């Protein structure tokens, strides 16, 4: 069942150690088949070297395991909540990558200070509201998803334009149209977190990216007038042939 998606999610998981985003087994990627309402996620606590595509666990949108010999990631309820409330995402990744965790530990947003940030994230990446003692006791992982969604609602953020969030004193979640795109966004987040940290070390002056530069970079890559890369070149060629 979902063999192709299992392979994609397996490969996306294997990118995490290669990109320096995980230590030991601290991370997980999932990817969803929206038509079937099923998603595929890494099993809990399995070493990346030992992981195989067949180990991936199939889960439904109620968070129930549909297929798999191993237990799914302990963060599965967070993934379930995000898939249910962010209906256009196709993949989710969670890591404990150290620069993003540093901002999460400080309970600070990762601010938009440079164009690398603006190429992928249209706003500051928000630090989600911290969970209460009761929320942690009641349903820790489910409420982790809930506080991310609530933070996006409270701050009128668009989850497609800003495809990541920090969980307070914990770490980042990132998402995207596919599992591979979610991993890409998680890596960009880690890079900009490191850059922001160094910018703060270098200057105490405000380094906020002006809105016109943020707009320029974000919309160069996203939306109907995007022109970065080769996609447009191809479509122009096709248009000429008609
Ligand atoms: Zn975690």
42, two tokens: 């890494």
Tell me the pLDDT tens digit for each residue of 143-175: 999 999 999 999 999 999 999 999 999 999 999
The rounded Å distance from CA 74 to ligand 1 centre is: 9
Is 228 among the residues known to form the active site? yes
Look up the pTM and report it.
0.92
Confidence of residue 241 (pLDDT cuts 50, 70, 90): very low
Using the mean position of ligand 1's atoms as its centre, give its distance from the Cα of residue 22 in Å. Answer: 11
Q: Would the CA dihedral through 227, 230, 235, 238 be positive or negative? A: positive
> What is the pLDDT at residue 230?
80
For residue 48, the model assigns a pLDDT of: 92
CA of 238 to the centre of ligand 1 (A): 46
Least confident interval from 93-107, 175-189, 193-207: 193-207
**Catalytic entry in 119, 139, 140, 219:** 119
Mean pLDDT across the stretch 98-126? Answer: 97
Q: What is the pLDDT of residues 31-71, one digit of tens each?
A: 999 999 999 999 999 999 999 999 999 999 999 999 999 99
173 CA to centre of ligand 1 in angstroms: 9
Distance 171 CA to ligand 1 centre (A): 6
The rounded Å distance from CA 167 to ligand 1 centre is 9
Q: Give the per-residue pLDDT at 233.
A: 61
Helical packing angle, 133-154 and 76-85, nearest 10°: 30
Question: Active site residue: 158, 215, 227, 228, which one?
Answer: 228
In the annotation, is 227 catalytic? no
């Amino acid at each position: 069942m979902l063999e192709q998606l299992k392979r994609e999610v397996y490969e996306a998981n294997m990118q995490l150690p290669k990109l320096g985003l995980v230590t030991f087994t601290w991370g997980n990627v999932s990817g969803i088949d929206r038509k079937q309402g099923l998603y595929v996620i890494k099993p809990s606590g399995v070493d990346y070297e030992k992981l195989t595509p067949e180990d991936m666990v199939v889960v439904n949108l109620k968070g129930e395991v549909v297929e798999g010999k191993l237990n799914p990631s302990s963060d599965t309820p967070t993934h379930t909540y995000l898939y249910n409330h962010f209906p256009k995402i196709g993949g989710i990744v969670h890591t404990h990558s150290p620069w993003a965790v540093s901002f999460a530990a400080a309970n600070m947003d990762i601010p938009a200070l440079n164009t690398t940030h603006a190429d992928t994230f249209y706003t500051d990446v928000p630090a989600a509201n911290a969970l209460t003692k009761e929320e942690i006791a009641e349903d820790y992982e489910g409420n982790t998803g809930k506080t991310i969604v609530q933070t996006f609602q409270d701050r009128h953020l668009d989850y497609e334009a800003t495809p990541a969030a920090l969980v307070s004193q914990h770490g980042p979640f990132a998402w995207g149209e596919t599992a591979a795109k979610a991993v890409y966004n998680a890596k960009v987040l880690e890079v900009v977190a490191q850059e922001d940290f160094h910018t703060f070390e270098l200057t105490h002056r405000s380094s906020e990216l002006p809105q016109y530069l943020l707009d320029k970079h974000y919309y160069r890559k996203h939306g109907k007038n995007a022109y970065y890369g080769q996609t447009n070149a191809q479509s122009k060629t096709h248009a000429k042939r008609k």
